[in-house]
Chain A
Amino acid sequence: MTLVKEAPARPAKERSAAPDAGRRGRRRENLAGYLFMSPWIAGFVFLTAGPMIASLYYAFTSYNLFTPPRWVGLDNFTTMFQDPRWQKSVEVTLKYVVVATPLKLLLALGVALLLAQKRRGQALYRAAFYMPSLIGASVSVGFVWRALFSDDAVVDRTQKIFGADVGGWIGNPDYVLYSLVALSIWQFGAPMVIFLAGLKQVPQELYEAAEMDGAGPFRRFWNITLPMISPVLFFNVLLESIHAFQVFGSAYVVSDSRCGPADATLVYTCYLYQKGFKESQMGFASAMAWTLVIAVALVTAVLFWSQKKWVHYEEAAK
């Protein structure tokens, strides 16, 4: 609901001028809109909507993927809320979202600001910083992460300098989640590139004018860069939060689909996967999925609502 309100409203004056031509124009606009949208509409109807509605229905059934689903009402939800492993997965996910998302975005923005300056070898730097994200969730990442965060490996040795010896993060239920967080932060390339693209759009004259007015780099960043890239910042905050809620790949890489030890990396989607695919409880998994949808939708709605306060769109500026 909030989302609908947020989309820019049509200016009133356009509507009042020349009612006849307006109506014809509107019809033409509608037609054009739907023509441009047609691939998405086809995709939505055929690929997304059906499976989505099916999964919503499954959420209220007991469904083992083979025999027809059996309606059980809210059973899946009540079982779920009482399930200690589900509670654990919520806890792990929230911890992950809250720690990983801001750190990743800060690093991405920092490096993007660094790379946005015109320097020698810029392209090379950019590719180098993007390298970790190119590797994706490959098996070799699993190997290297084990190697980095094991006992006596580089992270552990560094940690020992500061007097903390935990015997490595991997395999340690109290620390392994942070190796996952580290993996997510390490692959900061996607938001970085998006920040860079956003920074490219900031008109240089604004900086020149600000410099004329004697604004230091910090004020220039606060008064010009930040508002100008706010649509992109908004996009990154929104998408990285959604992705963090749905994280699966990095958990899979660090601890395969067991997401352990002791459920220490049991992120929400990993538990959903175990329930749906390892244990064939698709009804339960669907209930989990829709609970996640509602939770993330709330977060999304809050973000969309908040953008009025801090996101600066070109078209809304007038």
Chain B
Amino acid sequence: MRTSRNVERRTILKAAGATAATLGLAATTGCGGDSGTSSDGTVTIRYAWWGGEPRTIAMKKSIALFEKKYPKIKIKPEFTDYLAFWEKFQTQASGGNPPDVFQNAVTFLRKYDKRGVLMDLKTQADAGNLNLENFRNGVLANGQVDGKQIGIPVGANTMALVIDLNAFKKAGVEAKFGWTWDEYFAALQTIQDKLKIAGDTGYFTIMYLYDLYLRQNGKAFFTDSDLGFTEDDLTQWWEDGYKRVKSGLVTDPKKIEQVSPKSGLSAGLAASEFTWDNFSIRYQGEGESDYGLAPIPTTNGKDTGQYLGSLMLSAFSGTKHPKEVAQFIDFMVHDAEVGKIMGYDRGILPTTEQFDAFKPTDPNNKGVAAYEDEVAKAGVLGKITPHPSGADVIEAAFLRIGGEVAQGKTKPADAAKALFGEAKAAFAG
């Protein structure tokens, strides 16, 4: 059986000719197109990230600083927006040609670790090329998987509730630390009654918010290899959510689609929305009102279930220049000047060197800093939720199936069942 399978595979590959045969090589050889060493010993490494223009300009400045300090290392920047970045990365990585260093997120860590794309940076740390000290609030753990350090955090962020300050004021309601879900929804009800707008844009399709809710109840969205809740849990969560869509407390999902890519909150369709705190700058840019960060509602009046998440830098396991790659990452997360240049664009700066060097002056950065400070002081920060391989697929499925519930197209119980089915396939993939 085994042999015939192999023979079959070989003949087919042969028939496919050079093109197909190269596929086998793709996984093993890791020669990047032009990331080589030139005759004068200058090393070029490819560095890719996603983000808008401000981030790119700051990155380019940071790169210039690095190249000044390490004249023998040249950084080749590659950048695009988030969606395009991952579309491109997937093809490059499966073609054996990902960038040497790239921006990464927790959701993708295990996925690409399982596929052998990510380098364990611990060896480089041991060799003295990368300093793993001075990370704040234990964020370094965000880049660890099975004892390997496959990502180095470049910032710390946490889930937050963004509110329309004017709407809250006009309705005479207030967001308080430690408020409960009941208090939160009661506040939304007041807003709906007084201002005739919905309270929230669709909280129950956000995987990361459900995770906080589960954590408040002693569970979590993921365990190391599975989902950390039951079908009944999710059915309940989605049933409550759909009830609130029908009563108008949560915005009609059609309306949300119609204003996208603007958020429902900045389009004035609701008074609050859950998102990551460092994304909050977009609301000022898109909307007409004033926006602020508010505490996550709780179950027991204290615990929000929050933790610090991170964007990180990861390195390609097949890079030809592991040492230089490590030196570059080290510079990007520890250099004080880089900290001043980058600011809180990717979250609160991760290391004490950078955190101490940057003092936010604009209201948005100040708001984010104050928020995370408050959360840290409240002592509610826990350990980050595990993200098994497939977490990215499940996040998308949660949003999609939750959307079907919101539209009234799928019953919550069937939807929960469907999510569990898809999760099983995603973990296996």
Contacts and interface: CB of A to CB of B under 8 A. Distances in A.
A, B co-complexed: yes
Interface of A: 45-47, 49-51, 53-54, 57, 64-69, 71, 84, 146, 150-151, 167-168, 170-173, 255-258, 260-263, 277-281
A260 B87 CA distance: 19
A272 to B, nearest CB: 14
B19 A54 contact: yes
B8 A71 contact: yes
Nearest to A279: B393
Nearest to B4: A71
A53 B20 contact: yes
Nearest to A71: B5
Given A170-B258, A172-B254, A53 B12 contact: yes
15 contacts: A53-B15, A54-B16, A54-B19, A64-B115, A71-B8, A71-B9, A146-B260, A150-B258, A151-B254, A151-B258, A171-B253, A277-B87, A279-B393, A279-B425, A279-B429
A256 B81 CA distance: 14
B429 A171 contact: no
Contacts of B18: 46, 50
B90 A277 contact: yes
Nearest to B404: A262
Contacts of A50: 16-20
B410 A262 contact: yes
Contacts of B407: 173, 261-262
Given A256-B83, A262-B407, A167 B115 contact: no
B409 A262 contact: yes
Contacts of A261: 253-254, 257, 403-404, 407
Could you say which interface size class chain B belongs to? 35 or more
A53 B117 contact: no
Nearest to A172: B254
Nearest to A281: B429
A151 B255 contact: yes
Contacts of A54: 16, 19-20, 23
A281 B389 CA distance: 13
Given A50-B20, A173-B409, A168 B258 contact: yes
A84 B415 CA distance: 12
Nearest to A283: B429
B59 interface: no
B52 interface: no
A177 to B, nearest CB: 13
A279 B16 contact: no
Nearest to A255: B257
B281 interface: no
A57 B9 contact: yes
A64 B19 CA distance: 18
Contacts of A170: 254, 257-258
B257 A263 contact: no
Interface in B240-271: 252-260
User: 8 closest Cβ contacts across the A-B interface?
Assistant: A50-B19, A171-B257, A66-B115, A171-B254, A65-B94, A150-B258, A54-B20, A53-B16
Contact of A168 (B17, B111, B254): B254
A168 B256 CA distance: 12
A303 B410 CA distance: 39
**Which of A45, A66, A168, A258 has the largest count of B CB atoms less than 10 A from its CB?**
A66
B86 to A, nearest CB: 8
A260 B400 contact: yes
**Which of A51, A57, A150, A280 has the largest count of B CB atoms less than 10 A from its CB?**
A280
B253 A146 contact: no
Contacts of B255: 151, 171
**Which of A167, A170, A171, A255 has the largest count of B CB atoms less than 10 A from its CB?**
A171
Interface string B311-342: 00000000000000000000000000000000
Nearest to B16: A53
B258 A171 contact: yes
Contact of A67 (B115, B258, B393, B418): B115
Contacts of B207: none
B48 to A, nearest CB: 17
Contacts of B13: 57
Interface in B1-59: 5, 8-9, 12-13, 15-20, 23-24, 27
A278 B20 contact: no
B113 to A, nearest CB: 11
Nearest to A47: B19
A71 B6 CA distance: 9
A146 B93 CA distance: 34
B16 A46 contact: no
A51 B90 contact: no
B116 interface: yes
A260 B19 contact: no
